[in-house]
Amino acid sequence: MRSWFNRLTNKEQPSVEPTQAKNTQGIYARFHIQYPGFELKVDLDLPGHGVTALFGHSGSGKTTCLRCIAGLEQADIGYLEVNGELWQDTQAGVFIPTHKRSLGYVFQEASLFPHLSVRGNLAYGRKRIDRTQRTSWDHILDLLGIGHLLDRMPDRLSGGERQRVGIARALVTNPRLLLMDEPLAALDLKRKGEILPYLERLNQELDIPVLYISHSPDEVARLADHVVLLDQGQVIAQGGLQETMARLDLPAVFTEHTGVVIEARVAEHDDEYHLTRLDFVGGSVLVTERPEPLGQRLRFRVDARDVSLSHHRVEGTSVMNILPVRIMDIATADTPAHVLVRLDVGGSIFIARITRRSCDQLGIAQGMDMWAQIKAVALLV
Amino acid sequence: MSFSLSRLCAALSLSLVACSALAEEVQIAVAANFTAPIKEIAAAFEKDTGHKVVASFGPTGGFYTQIKNGAPFEVFLSADDTTPGKLVTEGDAVKESRFTYAIGKLVLWSPTANYVDAKGEVLKKNQFKHLSVANPKTAPYGAAAVEVLEKLKLTEALKPKLVEGSNITQAYQFVATGNAELGFIALSQVYKDGKLTGGSAWMVPADLYEPIKQDAVILDKGKNNPAAKALVEYLKGDKAAAVIKAYGYDK
Amino acid sequence: MPLSDHDFSAIRLTLELASLTTVLLLIVGTPIAWWLARTRSRLKGLIGAVVALPLVLPPTVIGFYLLVVSGPHGPVGQITQSLGLGTLPFTFTGLVVASVFYSMPFVVQPLQNAFESIGDRPLEVAATLRANPWDCFFTVVLPMARPSFVTASILGFAHTVGEFGVVLMMGGSIPDKTRTVSVQIFDHVEAMEYAQAHWLAGGMVVFSFIVLLALYSSRRFKPGLA
């Protein structure tokens, strides 16, 4: 027997009463499901608040995992507990059907009911929850900017509007868990840009744990607090966004996206050169002028490809952002020509992707102090 | 070698000529109710004369339409006497050849033994749910059945119990499957080798209905075919008469 | 108009038969279509084939077997008799039962197609919005499949009106009970009453044409989520 299975079977027997499992916060999910040619075997321990991104390539089992949590897919062996409520335990014979789970699900395509107006779609789920659970939907309509669409039929909405209605429809049921399966995947870049700010506001203003599937690193970096990396039906890594993204020991499939996400604050605007300084733990970077006010929190992402290393502070370069770093460790990359070098910048972690030849020629080793040139900073707004 | 081959060829061609001179083929259209007897008669006819009979079986009305539209039949054995009469007046048949080859007999029949008594009292007792008849407007046996009920003054009493088959075959089917307890059908449908094939029956007396004459006629297409003439003559003969009677027809 | 009382009674009877048959077919056919559209059972092929049989079988075959099976000696006949219901042939009820069977594919197949093209997604969406399966069927599936229900009803009705062989085989042509328009037309033609036959037959042609015209020119939209 595999260790995963042992852990499942050795777990203390949960009480049969579904709603009185462990009185804890958090989402515990264990699923084992087998299809011809595909096996999903996951063991997740996720925070009961904030946004958790399920990240991985297509076919990695993200959607199956989410469907298991929703009860749309019934795992052969499964255990699921959401903030103290037991939703599934195959051993105890517990399986709460989807329609009795307090969840919201946003599908890749908005999947609005074509025979109902926007109002009808929104009311569909809301009518079916307990009267005492119903709250005014005005706030959600405001958050998603769809108040003016209520009387439209779905075929008269744009793709972005439809998806916003889909999200609102899930939210007005006042769910205890929001599941989103690549809600932006079916949209073009412009529409994505149209919805992302709404999603960010949701996360800031509503206190619902969100599981968010994505295969876009930028989307994950921008929205998630917590990340689960999935590959071939297995969990490769899970943890806080910054730690997980800064790990070097991930399989090759993820290293093409290697980079770090840094939490920063707007520190200074330079009106002459139209630049903005962002401070983060251990340093600061200059970026082209930002509209955000001083003190505003921002996330930026630095791709490992955009970081180069030198022994001395390089003079006469056009690169603006040069930071003193200490080498933490070195790992192989997805090609034998490259290595990944993890850098400590006064407490924040950066990753540089350099050739193995340069690494040897410069004699880079753990503990060495060097300078890092940051060629590009991607702001996640 | 060449000698024997030429002799063989000569013998073959001689025999072919001989065959075609003696044995003609005749195409006939036969009313469905006469299928079984004509098969027996045709077999005997072919044996006795060397002619060959090619027979089609079907509804009289259908044959009428086909003949009017150029079907290749040479002799027509109808289920009634009006259709051959019509063909004669319309010039599609040889007038002198028309004759009654069989007279159909009406019978009140049930597949249940002893259900129908020999005098037809069962009709007056009226203890059944359905009495099957053929469509009186289109089928001669149906018209005869209605005539019988009229003469017995049972029309009003039995009208609610009548079920109509579109033809005499269907009227028989209703009874044979038990859906109607009894029905007026053609004797030939339940009669073979001079006796009932099963069930119980009342042979309806001939004075209760107009005779159901089945006429045969040589068609325009067959007027020059000696086999057609031979078949008609054969139908009038004793051998055919015996077969016809054995199947429950009068002659 | 040379139509007799018998002709009008045949028309009324036919409309009654077709209406009742259509209502029953929707009640019986909807669950069958639903099952056929959703099941993964190996019986699917078998049931689908049985439902489709009337499409290929000559009506006389169906009529003949119904006559035999539901007659006093047939298995169905034995059951109906033991229930004190008598036998089906020669009764209006019998025609309704036969028509339901005979017109079944015309109702089941459009519904099955509609249910199949609706797919799983709307049901899943409804489930995540707290709708139980019954609720979901009535509030999502039925409205989404509405055009197909209209199609199925029209086809079922029209096909029952046009049904001839089965009625002929097991109806017994009883006025006001089992003599429908198509049988009446047949009788008129057989009796060479062409004027009456023309009125009825022409009426059937016009009726069928209008039905099909309405069907084909109505806006057809494929069910699916927006």
Once rounded to an integer, what is the mean pLDDT over residues C56-80?
87
What span, in angstroms and rounded, lies between the C-alpha atoms of A64 and A70?
A: 10
> Are the Cβ atoms of B177 and C68 closer than 8 angstroms?
yes
- Asked, for residue B66, whether it belongs to a domain, the answer is yes
Q: What is the mean pLDDT of chain C?
A: 88
pLDDT of residue B7: 54
Question: How many structural domains compose chain B?
Answer: 2
Chain B closest-CA separation from residue C167 CA (Å): 11
The ranges assigned to domains in chain A are 3-255, 259-380
Determine the residue among B133, B168, B177, B184 to mutate to test chain C binding: the one whose Cβ has the most chain C Cβ atoms within 10 Å: B177
One domain for residues B176 and B223? no
> Are the Cβ atoms of B174 and C87 closer than 8 angstroms?
no
pLDDT of residue C192: 67
Which of these, A77, A57, A53, lies nearest to A66 by C-alpha position? A53
- Asked, for residue B251, whether it belongs to a domain, the answer is no
- Asked, for residue B16, whether it belongs to a domain, the answer is no
Once rounded to an integer, what is the mean pLDDT over residues C185-192?
77
- Asked, for residue B8, whether it belongs to a domain, the answer is no
- Asked, for residue B6, whether it belongs to a domain, the answer is no
Residue A114, chain C, CB below 8 Å: the answer is yes
pLDDT of residue A4: 35
What burial letters (b/e) apply to B111-127, b meaning 16+ CB within 10 Å? Answer: beeebbeeebebbeeee
Once rounded to an integer, what is the mean pLDDT over residues C73-96?
88
Residue C118, chain A, CB below 8 Å: the answer is no
Angle at B61 between CA C162 and CA C11, to 5 degrees: 25
- Asked, for residue B13, whether it belongs to a domain, the answer is no
Q: Which residue's entry shows tokens 């599609």? A: B92
> Are the Cβ atoms of A154 and C226 closer than 8 angstroms?
yes
Which domains are assigned to chain C?
14-118+146-217 (1.10.3720.10)
- Each residue's pLDDT tens digit, C102-142: 999 999 999 999 999 999 999 999 999 999 999 999 999 99
Q: Which helix or strand (DSSP H or E) is residue B151 part of? A: helix B140-151
Which chain C residue has its CA at the smallest distance from B164's CA? C172
Q: What is the mean pLDDT of each run of 10 residues along chain A (381 residues)?
A: 34 40 75 90 90 88 94 92 92 94 92 95 93 86 90 92 92 92 82 78 82 84 88 89 77 68 91 92 90 88 90 90 93 87 91 93 94 86 62
Determine the residue among C66, C90, C184, C188 to mutate to test chain B binding: the one whose Cβ has the most chain B Cβ atoms within 10 Å: C90
Residue A164, chain C, CB below 8 Å: the answer is no
What span, in angstroms and rounded, lies between the C-alpha atoms of A240 and A253?
A: 20
The tens place of each residue's pLDDT in chain B, 251 residues long, gives: 444 555 554 444 444 444 444 678 999 999 888 988 999 999 999 999 999 999 998 888 878 888 988 889 999 999 899 999 999 999 999 999 999 999 999 999 999 999 999 888 999 998 999 999 998 888 889 999 999 999 999 999 999 999 999 888 889 999 999 999 999 999 988 988 888 889 999 999 989 999 999 999 999 999 999 999 999 999 999 999 999 999 989 88
> Are the Cβ atoms of A99 and C143 closer than 8 angstroms?
no
CATH class of the domain at A3-255: alpha beta
> Are the Cβ atoms of B179 and C191 closer than 8 angstroms?
no
pLDDT of residue C220: 55
pLDDT of residue B192: 84
> Are the Cβ atoms of C186 and B163 closer than 8 angstroms?
no
Domain containing B33 equals: 23-103+218-246
Residue C212: CB atoms within 10 A of its CB come to 13
pLDDT of residue A24: 67
Once rounded to an integer, what is the mean pLDDT over residues C40-46?
92
CATH of the domain at B191: 3.40.190.10
One domain for residues B157 and B99? no
Which of these, A190, A188, A239, A181, lies nearest to A212 by C-alpha position? A181
Task: Please say whether the beta carbons of A250 and A237 come within 8 A.
Answer: yes
Asked if the interface predicted TM-score (ipTM) of this complex is over 0.90, the answer is: no
Task: Please say whether the beta carbons of C88 and C169 come within 8 A.
Answer: no
| Model-wide pTM > 0.90 | no
pLDDT of residue B6: 52
Please report, in range form, the residues annotated as the binding site of B for molybdate. 60, 168
Which of these, B79, B64, B87, lies nearest to B223 by C-alpha position? B87
pLDDT of residue B4: 52
pLDDT of residue B120: 87
Residue A186, chain C, CB below 8 Å: the answer is no
A259-380 has CATH 2.40.50.140 classification? no
One domain for residues B111 and B199? yes
- Looking at beta carbons, which pairs linking A127-136 to residues 24 or more positions away fall under 8 Å? A128/A99, A128/A173, A128/C129, A128/C130, A128/C131, A128/C135, A129/A102, A129/A173, A129/A174, A129/C130, A133/A174, A134/A174, A135/A174
Sheet holding A338-345, edge to edge: A307-310, A369-374, A321-332, A338-345, A348-355
pLDDT band for C224, please (50, 70, 90 cuts).
Answer: low
Which chain C residue has its CA at the smallest distance from B170's CA? C169
